A and B are shown apart, each in its own frame.
Chain A
Amino acid sequence: MKAAYIHIPFCHHICHYCDFNKVFMKGQPVDEYLSSMEKEMELTIKGNKQTLETVFVGGGTPTALNENQLEKLVSAINRQLKTDGNTEYTFEANPGDLSKEKLSILKNAGVNRLSFGVQTFNDDLLQRIGRSHRAKDVFASIENARAAGFENISIDLIYSLPGQTKQDVIDSIQTALGLGLVHYSGYSLIIEPKTVFYNLMQKGKLPLPGEDAEAEMYVALMEQMEQNGLKQYEISNFAVPGYESKHNLTYWNNEEYYGFGAGAHGYVNGIRQSNFGPLKKYMDPLTRGELPIMDFHKVTVEEQMEEEMFLGLRKTEGVSIRQFQEKYNRDLLQFFGQQIEEWSSKGLLEMDDERIFLTREGRLLGNEVFQSFIGVSNH
């Protein structure tokens, strides 16, 4: 096991598009939650401690924790998980949340990567999507983070926001690039059920840019990143070579990872599992010394192969023919021959001696390709 995801489900503000497991922080049993989570780590690992290559603390809003809570969290992680100088240790951060004190807590705990949820540099849009921060907070946060010794910094941007134009997107990307960071993620907005945006959309009150504009925004994102020396290594991720997120690559490489916290997902010993989301349901079993697992599924070999494809093809480098052979003892080109041929002829898939990968056009229509690899081996 090389990776761990840790979920902090607390937020001071709830964004209009967010469907992750989260709650308003006020009045919540934060300290109890952190203790429960330490218990979960202890029960899960049971002395089988290995050095992790990546630890990712996400949310929710991990930086919503106050200094004491943050201290409690990082020391719990420190007690339960084994990391070393090579471990990529990331905290998700909300711009404006990280005081000098919090930064130093993180730095001292060995955190070496920060990922800021910036979304856009247009203040009107930020307000409209329910974010509490403004563009100026981003500049200040990055400056403080650098001053505290953080170099490996990433920001997330979202495009295809309601009322957003292609020019807005380009402006945000250029501002982001102006910060000279080593890593950027650019996600298109997805409207999920049980969000403010979903309800607005149902009422016809959400002016989304539409598929054509979204495609143009995505192409602009890829072009801007390329022109500035950031290599696209996954559908939504760009990095200076050497700074790719090891944690995210764990997912795309179809490798295993722990998932700690309420509503967190893990992939442990061939089983994909998820924890209870509601805090009480998550914490109660842990007080009895039981794991709060809500759902689990043993992934069959066929499913593993399918996942290898629809996850692996998200990466620019695609899926390695040799590794597929080693992992599954199957010839990729034969096993998925029909799909590979179909999408190659339609110009969405390409291959060389070593790998098969999406074309630039294929990145825009990835789901069309991914679908075809699913459920094939069921019969």
Chain B
Amino acid sequence: MNREDRLNRQSKIRNFSIIAHIDHGKSTLADRILEKTNALTAREMKDQLLDSMDLERERGITIKLNSVQLKYKAKDGEIYTFHLIDTPGHVDFTYEVSRSLAACEGAVLVVDAAQGIEAQTLANVYLAIDNDLEIVPVINKIDLPSADPERVRNEIEDVIGLDASEAVLASAKAGIGIEDILEQIVEKVPAPEGDPDAPLKALIFDSLYDAYRGVVAYIRVVDGTVKVGDKIRMMATGKEFEVTEVGVFTPKSTPTGELTVGDVGFLTAAIKNVGDTRVGDTITNAKNGAAEPLPGYRRLNPMVYCGLYPIDSAKFNDLREALEKLELNDSALQFEPETSQALGFGFRCGFLGLLHMEIIQERIEREFKIDLITTAPSVIYDVIMTDGTEVKVDNPSNMPDPQKIDRVEEPYVKATMMAPNDYVGAIMELCQDKRGIFIDMQYMDETRVSIVYEIPLSEIVYDFFDQLKSSTKGYASFDYELIGYKPSKLVKMDILLNAEKVDALSFIVHRDFAYERGKIIVDKLRDLIPRQQFEVPIQAAIGQKIVARSTIKAMRKNVLAKCYGGDISRKRKLLEKQKEGKKRMKQVGSVEVPQEAFMAVLKMDDTNTKK
């Protein structure tokens, strides 16, 4: 291609993401767009095509970014090249959203015609506006009986401040309005700017590791052109490679001769070391490269920490490799080795939130086949010692001796919740229970309210979101941002099994709730830890003082009575299963403790929630 062809092609490129609250129909809309642009034959169509990980399909959420190139013949007779970059919808993955937005010029904002704007929609829309993206509002699910598109149109204008007069009324499910959306993308989303002859500047917005091809970098070309055989350099690491493959996703990965300005696709260069390509880095030419890298991304700091330990201690190195591979395309994941007396060698890992943590844990167990013990999540506490020094504590068992502590500060978030006004009482009660401080309440329209609280992050990371959902019949949406540290009356609670302190079970608790929580957790552990051949006392202690206790009774009977009509294989299987169950437990001192027990502190609130 010569310069003119490239520039002409460039003017017909439209890069966009779809942003929406979870369940507002983002994936269905993406599927319809794929259909409409004939990206796939009917046989290839599977629902929610872009969610490719098993986990994503099972949970009905999008975690990883995906991009796809589409051809669209517009009403003006021209053929346009679209790059649709998928975004995750959950609050934990705001960071990933910001990454995909950086590769686009526009965003399709999908709002549910019945439910209206949700807290998460707002957060993502602001991210898009901050990235100077052109917003194409779409009011989806207009075929629902409860749809009220005009109310939602007003909400988009009043709450977000966007002009929604041309918002497309659509139903992705019924295939209504899809063409209008595509036309608006052509009209409103600007073509990429950039010079195809300038030195290469390509943003790595995601990557994955392929056993045969090495690192596959997902890139957006901002300036210049890249072809197979080109020598390239990673601007952050300085590492150089020769390009072996470039291409786009249609959504099948399809090689192309080159990628140029505005293209969104992939690049491989026999990159074996996952650390050599960092998401957010800029790729340029090895010789005569660009002077300045692209802005990249703000590295997001984890909010939640927990210990990950292999049940089988021999798998420590496998776990390290798994974490390294996952870190490659999840730069929000942080980890460093740590040691626990109870659990041996493992890693203290930082996550964006609880869902992020669960997903990483599940991916390690499924994709890398490593059985894990996860300790209860913790936030980072700021401990100011009596001598004036400050200590950051991300693992409760490292909390210093209370005598040496002047005060402890904990992170607070500003939590915004939106719900129908019937649930204001329930939301406020929940926030008060979670040590929240009321800040503001506003009516968005006659029936919908936005409520703002300041709440300790540690209360949010437990099961706040689940409780919010259950106390508002699923109607409330929720978003939060970190606002800083405030002093709190916090103490460390230790758990003793069979009179031995189990460091992995320690947790930080507010002094006023300490006795109550101590009691709940010892009872919970009594139910979760199976009987052993001896009686096991469980104690909760603050310093030397025992505040609660419970006892796991000794195992009394475990013997198969029946003869199963000579079915010995069945007997064997039953014994094998019992044995296998034991293998999944961790020997802590003389006690065998199942995985769930280490998470007991997390689900502690189940029992005292008022329903």
Chain A interface residues toward B at CB < 8 A: 5, 7, 20, 58, 186-188, 190, 211-212, 214-215, 218, 235-236, 248, 251, 257, 259, 264-267, 272, 274, 297, 303, 306-307, 310-311, 346, 363-368, 370-372, 374-375
A265 touches B560 (CB 8 A): no
Asked whether, in the complex, the Cβ of B579 is within 8 Å of the Cβ of A374, the reply is yes
Separation of A367 and B564 alpha carbons in the complex (Å): 15
Decide yes or no whether B555 CB sits under 8 A from chain A.
Answer: yes
Interfacial chain B residues near A306, Cβ < 8 Å: 572
Alpha-carbon gap, A303 to B575, bound state (A): 13
User: Which residues of the other chain, B, contact A264 by a CB distance below 8 angstroms?
Assistant: 565-566
Contact of A367 among B531, B558, B568, B569 (CB under 8 A): B558
Q: How far is the CB of A372 from chain B (nearest CB, A)?
A: 8
Report 22 cross-chain contacts, Cβ distance below 8 Å, ordered by A residue.
Answer: A5-B565, A20-B565, A186-B561, A187-B561, A188-B557, A190-B560, A190-B561, A235-B560, A251-B563, A266-B566, A267-B566, A303-B572, A311-B568, A364-B557, A364-B559, A365-B555, A366-B560, A367-B560, A367-B575, A368-B555, A368-B558, A374-B579
- Contact indicator B566/A363 (Cβ below 8 Å): no
Known A187-B561, A371-B578; judge A215-B572 contact (CB<8 A). Answer: no
Contact A211 B533 (CB under 8 A): no
Asked if B576 lies at the interface with its beta carbon under 8 angstroms from chain A, I say yes
A-B contacts besides A235-B561, A297-B569, 16 pairs, CB < 8 Å: A211-B556, A212-B553, A215-B556, A215-B557, A251-B563, A259-B566, A264-B565, A265-B566, A266-B566, A274-B567, A310-B575, A311-B568, A364-B556, A366-B560, A371-B575, A374-B575
Within 8 A of A (CB), among B420-459: none
Beta-carbon contact of A265 and B557 below 8 Å? no
Q: Is A214's CB under 8 angstroms from B568's CB?
A: no
Q: A215 CA to B569 CA in the complex, in Å?
A: 26
* Chain A residues, CB < 8 A from B560: 190, 235, 366-367, 370
Known pairs A257-B566, A368-B533; A375 contacts B576 (CB<8 A): yes
Q: B565 to A58, Cβ gap below 8 A?
A: yes
CB-CB under 8 A from A370, the residues of chain B are 560, 575
Instruction: List chain B residues, Cβ under 8 A from A257.
Output: 566
Residue of A nearest to B583 (CB): A375
A375 to B579, CA, bound (A): 9
Q: Closest Cβ of chain B: how far from A212's Cβ, in Å?
A: 5
B567 to chain A: which residues have CB within 8 Å? Answer: 265, 274
Chain B residue at minimum C-beta to C-beta distance from A373? B575
Task: Say whether, besides A365-B533, A368-B533, A375-B579, A5 and B566 are in contact (CB < 8 Å).
Answer: yes
Distance in angstroms from A313 CB to nearest chain B CB is: 10
Give 8 nearest A-B pairs by CB, closest first.
A215-B556, A366-B559, A215-B557, A187-B561, A371-B579, A188-B561, A265-B567, A367-B558
User: Does B562 touch A at the CB level, under 8 Å?
Assistant: yes
A272-B559 contact in complex given A346-B533, A365-B533, C-beta closer than 8 Å: no
CB pair A367 B566 closer than 8 Å: no
Q: Which of B557, B561, B563, B576 contacts A374 (CB 8 A)?
A: B576
Contacts of A374 in B (CB 8 A): 572, 575-576, 579
How far in angstroms is the closest Cβ of chain A from B353?
33
CB-defined contacts of A236 to chain B, threshold 8 Å: 561-563
Contact A235 B557 (CB under 8 A): no
User: How many B residues face the partner with a CB closer than 8 A?
Assistant: 25
Q: Tell me the complex Cα distance, A187–B562, Å.
A: 6
For the complex, what is the distance from the CA of A126 to the CA of B566, rounded to whole Å?
26
Question: Do B533 and A214 touch (CB < 8 A)?
Answer: no
| Closest B residue to A295 using CB positions | B569
B residues in contact (CB < 8 Å) with A = 531, 533, 553, 555-569, 571-572, 575-576, 578-579, 582
Q: Which residue of B lies closest to A217 (CB)?
A: B557
In the complex, the answer to whether A218 meets B557 with C-beta atoms within 8 Å is: yes
Distance in Å: Cβ of A195 to nearest Cβ of chain B:
13
Q: What are the residues of chain B within 8 A of A190 when measuring CB–CB?
A: 560-562
- Give complex CA distance A138, B578 in Å: 37
CA distance A311 to B568 in the complex (A): 9
Q: Given the known A-B contacts A371-B575, A371-B579, A374-B579, are A235 and B559 also in contact in the complex, defined by CB atoms under 8 Å? A: yes
Cα A87 to Cα B603 in complex, Å, equals 61
Nearest chain A CB to B592's CB is how many angstroms away?
11
- Contact in complex: A214, B556 (CB < 8 Å): yes
Bound-state CA distance A5–B567 (Å) is: 11
The reply to whether A307 and B559 contact each other, CB–CB distance below 8 Å, is no
Q: Is the beta-carbon distance between A307 and B568 smaller than 8 angstroms?
A: yes
Check A211–B531 contact: CB distance below 8 A: yes
| Given A365-B555, A375-B579: A272 in contact with B568 (beta carbons within 8 A) | yes
Distance between B88 CB and nearest chain A CB, rounded to angstroms: 35
Name which residue of chain B comes closest to A348, CB basis: B533
Which of A5, A186, A265 gathers the greatest number of chain B CB atoms within 10 Å? A265
- Note all chain A residues with C-beta closer than 8 A to B564: 265
Point out the residues of chain B lying under 8 angstroms from A248, CB to CB. 563
Q: How far is the CA of A211 from the CA of B530 in the complex (A)?
A: 12
User: Which chain B residue lies CB-closest to A361?
Assistant: B533
List the B side residues contacting A371 at CB < 8 Å: 575-576, 578-579, 582
Q: How far is the CB of B558 from chain A (nearest CB, A)?
A: 5
Cβ of B565 and Cβ of A272 under 8 Å apart? no
Chain B residue nearest to A210 (CB atoms) is: B556
In the complex, what distance in Å separates the CA atom of A265 from the CA atom of B573? 15
Q: How far is the CB of A120 from chain B (nearest CB, A)?
A: 15
Give the residues in chain B near A187, CB-CB below 8 Å.
561-562
Complex Cα distance, B565 from A89, in Å, reads 15
Contacts of A215 in B (CB 8 A): 556-557
Q: CB-CB < 8 A to B571: which residues of A?
A: 310-311
Inter-subunit contact B559/A365 (CB<8 Å): yes
Determine the distance from Cα of A303 to Cα of B564 in the docked complex, in whole angstroms: 19
What chain A residues lie within 8 Å of B572 (beta carbons)?
A: 303, 306-307, 310, 374
- List chain B residues, Cβ under 8 A from A274: 567, 569
Closest Cβ neighbor of A250 among chain B residues: B566
What's the Cα separation between A58 and B553 when bound, in Å? 39
Which residues of chain A are near B582, meaning CB under 8 Å?
371
- The chain B residue sitting closest to A92, CB to CB, is B565
CB distance from B581 to the nearest CB of A (A): 10
Q: Which chain A positions have C-beta within 8 A of B575? A: 310, 367, 370-371, 374
For B568, give its contact among A20, A265, A368, A375 (CB under 8 Å). Answer: A265
Residues of A near B578 (CB, < 8 A) are: 367, 371
Cβ of A54 to closest chain B Cβ, rounded Å: 11
Q: How far is the CA of A364 from the CA of B563 in the complex (A)?
A: 16
In the bound assembly, the distance between CA atoms of A326 and B500 in angstroms comes to 47
Contacts of B579 in A (CB 8 A): 371-372, 374-375
Q: Is the pair A366, B558 in contact by a Cβ cutoff of 8 Å?
A: yes
Query: Among the interface residues A215, A248, A346, which one has the most CB atoms of the partner chain B within 10 A?
Result: A215
Docked complex Cα distance between A291 and B512 (Å): 72
Question: Within the assembled complex, what's the spacing in Å between the Cα atoms of A13 and B582?
Answer: 38
List the B residue with the shortest CB-CB distance to A215: B556
In the complex the two chains form, what is the Cα distance from A200 to B301 in whole Å?
Answer: 49
Cα distance A264–B569 in the bound complex, in angstroms: 12
The CA-CA distance from A346 to B532 in the complex, in Å, is 12
Nearest B-chain residue to A296, judged by Cβ: B569
- Complex interface: chain A residues within 8 A of B557 (CB): 188, 211, 214-215, 218, 364-365
- Point out which of A214, A259, A371 has the most chain B C-beta atoms below 10 A from its C-beta: A371
Report the Cα distance A79→B326, complex, angstroms: 69
Min CB distance B131 to A, Å, is: 51
Which residues of B sit under 8 angstroms from A310, Cβ to Cβ?
571-572, 575
Q: What residue in chain B is nearest A362 (Cβ atoms)?
A: B559
Q: From residue B446, how far is it (CB to closest CB) to chain A in Å?
A: 43
**Residues on the B chain within 8 Å of A272, using CB:** 568-569
A25 to B442, CA, bound (A): 70
Chain A residues within 8 Å of B558, by CB = 364-368
Closest to B556 in A: A215
Q: Which of A7, A248, A363, A375 has the most CB of B within 10 A?
A: A375
- Closest residue to B557 on the A side, CB-wise? A215
B residues near A346, Cβ cutoff 8 Å? 533
| A212-B553, A371-B578, A375-B579 given; A265·B559 CB < 8 A | no
Residues in chain A near residue B559, CB distance under 8 A: 235, 363-367
